[in-house]
Amino acid sequence: MEHALRTRGVLTLMLLLLVGCKPAANPHAVTAQPRQLPTSPPARPAQSAQPQGQVRVQGDDALAVVLSWSLPEVAISHPAAARSAARRALAKGDLFETAQSAIPLLLALQKLQPGNLQDAKLLEKSRTALLSQAWSALAEDEDLASLRYAQRQATVLRSLWPEYPHVQEYLAAVDQVGQAFDLTLAGEAKLRAGELDSAGGALEKFRKALVLWPPLLRAQRGLGSVEDVLVAKAQMLAAAGDYDAAYGLLARAGQVRGSPLLAQVVGARIEAARNERLRRMRDAGLIALGTGSGLQFAREQLADMLRIAKPGDAASVELRQRIDMVSRYDVFQPRQVFTDEMPDASRGPSMVVVPFGEFLMGSANGEIDANADEQPQHRVSFERGFAMGRYEITVGQFRRFVEATGYVARATQRGHSMAYDVRSGNFVRGSGIDWRSGYDGQPAVDAMPVVHVTARDAEAYAAWLSQQTGAHYRLPSEAEFEYALRAGGRGRYPWGNALPPAGVENLAGGKDVSPRGRHWNNAFAGYADGWWGPAPVGSFTANRFGLYDMGGNVSEWVVDCWHKGYRRAPARGEAWVNPGCRNRMYRGGAWSSAPVQARSAWRVSGGVDITNARIGFRLVRQL
């Protein structure tokens, strides 16, 4: 159907040029009695009231050559040969342009031998073919050559058979399309001027054009353009926070082509963006609450949220409640270990209160292996503490979430993830690998850190844990992670500037050996941790804040989107995000990390849907 509409669209352009002066009957017209020819397309719109058989020329005088066809002079010495030539020309579709075309030859033969029924039948077939060509050319959408050809065919038909009914029908159709095209041009001008659906605006012009000629694709596209502009303006208003005006424009857009589904679909998209915006504002406010002096910022965030939120919006209610709580309490102590109670009286993940303070985030100029993405080094302050998971989230803890909610993680959905291939020593994509699997794709025990999860999987777990405990859990910001990783240190590595001391982290050590007897190519010389792959959480030494596996075992997802370097980075520890970003940060070394990747400032990003055997997560709980 789309092709059919497109092939008729050129009728719009043609009418600038085809329109009206009734010609006199041509002296060379065929004298044989005409019969009804099935040459015009069925179910054409009602014809205009203009006199039939008229063609007018409007606009470009350069088209005079196209519209000034005259019958070529033909000299015939051998009628039989001329008749054969006419048949060949007719078979090829060469109908009128030269003295060797079918129609000039047959008219000359008719003049030479009046009453020849064979010539009359051939001429009738030629007229039928010309009308068929004319309608086909008229239906070709936005093809300039076809447009010119249709105009020239109209001139030929008007010159030879102006009184023939099918010719009159064709010429009247050309005129009808011309009126519709004029309206379409006027509608496009209104559209450019921004006059969309007001009285006399673009929408009215396009609708009138389509009443005259429904197949006119250019007018149909005009309706679509009005709709698109209204939708775009609605989305701009929504982005500016004026949701009432946005939904008003969406309602108008839905009326353009009578498509209520449009308003529903775009409205759902705007509503999802509003909810995401509110969620991020809530998180920014909650992170700010953890900085002490961020209370005013959180209140400002709440005021902005209430301006754009629906009554009773959950994110706004949560932030309001947290502001009320933080403004009154201070019950935790630095390095305190605690857990939250779950509805079944069990306990949530073990948390450690990270003390407030400040640090220099990123790598210093001249640091070995530093790169520009870790700079400039800048000061980040935490005026209040926050609680961070004492350990990485385990397979068992994630299993409890999945069994309680029926959640389907990303790797489970797509049926594969990246794991270590023991035989080849490479990381390869394996089927059937998901959060239940270990680094090598084999089933993992519950004490192992969960891997093969995306940042969104981690956030889904955090949302469930928040609902279960009544506290607010989330992924840490990148600044929070590096602050907790360094734990007050300023060295190249979390433990300092030298080689790792025994038992400090699960890293790529020069003495580590794979199940097949392989060694790391790029490792800490002389170091052995006893594991080729992740170890059960808490197997190594805690850092100065009481946190385990921050610099090794598995790397961990954080909230932040990828930014190249720290220019204009937040200075209060909040996450640095862009709505809809496709690349998220993960931090900290892993069981396979080379020395350069175990540095405190090392940072890297991954797509929101990537999963592999080296990335897991831990959570932060807002105090």
pLDDT in tens, 460-500: 999 999 999 999 999 999 999 999 999 999 999 999 999 99
Q: How far apart are CA 11 and CA 173, in angstroms?
A: 9
Give me the chain's average pLDDT, please: 86
Work out the pLDDT band at 503, boundaries 50, 70, 90: very high
Question: Virtual CA dihedral for 236, 241, 243, 249, nearest 10 degrees?
Answer: -20
In a domain, 549, yes or no: yes
In a domain, 369, yes or no: yes
Cβ atoms of 282 and 274 closer than 8 Å:
no
Q: How far apart are CA 245 and CA 234, in angstroms?
A: 7
Residue ending a domain, among 125, 157, 183, is 183
Most distant pair of Cα atoms in the chain: their distance: 117
DSSP 499: S
Tokens of 68: 């000034």
State how far the alpha carbon of 405 is from the alpha carbons of 463, 465, 611, in Å.
11, 11, 21
The answer, yes or no, to whether residue 336 has pLDDT greater than 80, is yes
192-206: per-residue pLDDT in tens?
999 999 899 999 999
Which residues face 607 on adjacent strands?
583
46-60: per-residue pLDDT in tens?
333 333 334 344 445
Work out the pLDDT band at 556, boundaries 50, 70, 90: very high
Instruction: Provide the percentage of residues in the chain whose pLDDT is more than 90.
Output: 66
CA 616 to chain CA centroid, nearest Å: 28
Q: Which residue's structure tokens are 């210093």?
A: 364
The answer, yes or no, to whether residue 581 has pLDDT greater than 70, is yes
- Residue 419: CB partners within 8 Å, gap ≥ 6? 427, 428, 429, 430, 433, 437, 438, 439, 440, 441, 452, 612, 613
Which pLDDT does position 292 carry in this prediction? 59
Tokens of 621: 């709980």
Instruction: Provide the percentage of residues in the chain whose pLDDT is more than 70.
Output: 87
SS3 418: strand
235-271: per-residue pLDDT in tens?
999 888 898 899 898 889 988 988 888 878 888 888 8
In a domain, 53, yes or no: yes
Which residues face 555 on adjacent strands?
615
Which pLDDT does position 31 carry in this prediction? 31
Cβ atoms of 83 and 122 closer than 8 Å:
yes
Which pLDDT does position 331 carry in this prediction? 58
148: phi then psi, degrees, rounded to nearest 5:
-60, -40
Q: How far apart are CA 593 and CA 614, in angstroms?
A: 9
DSSP 454: -
In a domain, 295, yes or no: no
Highest mean pLDDT among 16-25, 286-295, 382-391, 555-564: 555-564
In a domain, 111, yes or no: yes
* Domains in the chain, number: 2
State how far the alpha carbon of 474 is from the alpha carbons of 181, 271, 426, 621, in Å.
59, 23, 33, 6
Which pLDDT does position 146 carry in this prediction? 65
Residue ending a domain, among 166, 183, 200, is 183
Region 590-605 average pLDDT: 96
CATH of the domain at 561: 3.90.1580.10
In a domain, 11, yes or no: yes
In a domain, 421, yes or no: no
In a domain, 489, yes or no: yes
Which pLDDT does position 33 carry in this prediction? 32
Which pLDDT does position 333 carry in this prediction? 79
SS3 509: strand
Work out the pLDDT band at 377, boundaries 50, 70, 90: very high
341-353: per-residue pLDDT in tens?
999 999 999 999 9
Which pLDDT does position 62 carry in this prediction? 52
Which pLDDT does position 68 carry in this prediction? 82
Cβ atoms of 246 and 234 closer than 8 Å:
yes
The answer, yes or no, to whether residue 563 has pLDDT greater than 90, is yes
Which pLDDT does position 489 carry in this prediction? 95
Among 8-22, 315-329, 493-507, where is mean pLDDT lowest?
A: 8-22
Q: How far apart are CA 23 and CA 36, in angstroms?
A: 22
**Domain extent for 528:** 352-393+453-621
